[in-house]
Structure 1
């Protein structure tokens, strides 16, 4: 099985990026979905059901925007610096030494059983990872390999919320 996340050890810390396979599948899925909705919208716009066609057109445009976002962020790294500072690209998520644990929590969106990985800070608050590549997993079992590697880079434990 191919790993969805590539972990690289750097002199100044750790870098997490989506694998080429994951990025390609995500972008390809969005492009295919967008193309399908845009194609179907032309059929309904030309028929008597114009409102439904416009709705499909808007959905196709939204999915195309998701493909563009996936393309633009496919190489944006999630970094853990040696002192524990966590950043996504140029955006700092957590200051050095503030992460208490890496948590696997139920996803706020999606299907029942979906999980996401969050950072629990010393003050008890949680920080979500803003990337769509690191955001959601189908189960806690799917999230554990990434969470363990991320916790290892931070020098903290993994915990789960149900």
Structure 2
């Protein structure tokens, strides 16, 4: 049986350097808005995320009231004073052009608006965060609630048993 050679203790193996791609903007908002595309009925938008990356690429996700999700791609044109301008380049498998304006504070998206075309059909979007969310003060701490006692646990089709809760 052959023994593999032993390397000197100070032999180092070079490792490749990997840099994680981090988002420049990571905006989230729950609110209400309207998305109109061509002659289709307007759709209600309930949730929006806007994420940009160091290469200036942007992904915009729109959650519609019917549960569907729209994902749009774009290029960050400018960003200053709580406002970002985005040039659309695609909407899923569809071609898209136009400009979106995202207003934000910290990581909270305040509004998203814009217009253009999706597969040569005109579109417009107007979305605003819920008013009570804008004025809500930041949460400073976390509240943890705990309770002790006894309870009844029932499982359908099984006999009900009493279990004491841990003290």
TM-score range, shorter chain: under 0.3
Q: Structure 1 length as normaliser, TM-score?
A: 0.26
- Structure with the bigger percentage of helix: 1
- Structure with the bigger percentage of strand: 2
Q: Which has the higher contact order (CA 8 A, sep 6+)?
A: 1
